[in-house]
Amino acid sequence: MRVIFTNIICVLMFFPSILFSSVRLSTLSNWNIDDFSEDTLLVAKTPENLPNGKAVFAFHVSRPHCFATKPIVMVRSAINAFSNGDIIIAEMKVDKEKPKLLKLKREFGFEDDGEDVNWYELIQFPSFSGGKRVEIIFKSRTPLNGFEVDITGIQSAKYQAEKICNSPVPIRHVSHM
């Protein structure tokens, strides 16, 4: 027993990244589970109908409670088209159902490749957890492109992220120098 304990200590001394590694996974349904902060995972998927990186549909799984919260969308726009705190009214269509009210709040944005990448929190939205496809529809006067996301496998991705979150291993090691 003592030999096993000594071996474990030696491995951890020479390979501390085993305990303090970041999370970056892709599920079989093409959901990405990434560390977002020391205590938060971001579970995200990109739409098929837009070039890669033009939009993202995601949600958080955060400690201490470790359940899915704070759904977000990230969409690109012209630079300075929106400000932090702006509210956008749009529609969300889940599967073949009628479009329903979607209310978004811009949390922040940053410039990338000549465009702003806008991070919107969904503050009012229809349930999508049991769906297979989500469509975000922006009004014609809103200078944002709508998109569709295949959300097949969302329950499995949520479950896996919650399991990772509930593990004793840090989600992301943050050095305090």
Residue 110 clears pLDDT 70, i.e. is over it: yes
Cβ neighbours of residue 64 closer than 8 Å, sequence gap 6 or more: 39
Return the closest-CA partner of residue 131 out of 105, 100, 88: 100
Distance CA 90, CA 103 (A): 6
CB distance 113 to 68 below 8 Å: no
Distance CA 158, CA 155 (A): 5
Q: What does each C-alpha distance from 3 to 11, 15, 16 come to in angstroms?
A: 12, 18, 19
Mean pLDDT of 69-88: 96
Task: Please return the burial class of 94, using the count of CB atoms within 10 Å of its CB with bins 0-12, 13-18 and 19+.
Answer: buried
Q: What mean pLDDT, rounded, does the chain reach?
A: 87
Residue 102 clears pLDDT 80, i.e. is over it: yes
| pLDDT at position 18 | 42
Q: How confident is the model at residue 169 (pLDDT cuts 50, 70, 90)?
A: confident
Mean pLDDT of 76-105: 97
Residue 3 clears pLDDT 90, i.e. is over it: no
Residue tagged 């939205």 (tokens): 125
CB distance 19 to 172 below 8 Å: no
- Which residue has better confidence, 150 or 168? 150
Query: How confident is the model over 19-67, as pLDDT tens digits?
Result: 445 788 899 999 999 999 989 999 999 997 776 668 999 999 999 999 9
Return the closest-CA partner of residue 65 out of 35, 43, 41: 41
| pLDDT at position 131 | 95
Neighbours of 109 (CB within 10 A): 23
- What is the domain partition of the chain in residue ranges? 22-166
Mean pLDDT of 7-21: 44
For 45-54, 128-137, 138-147, which range has the lowest pLDDT when averaged over its residues? Answer: 45-54
- Which residue has better confidence, 4 or 79? 79
Q: What is the pTM of this model?
A: 0.82
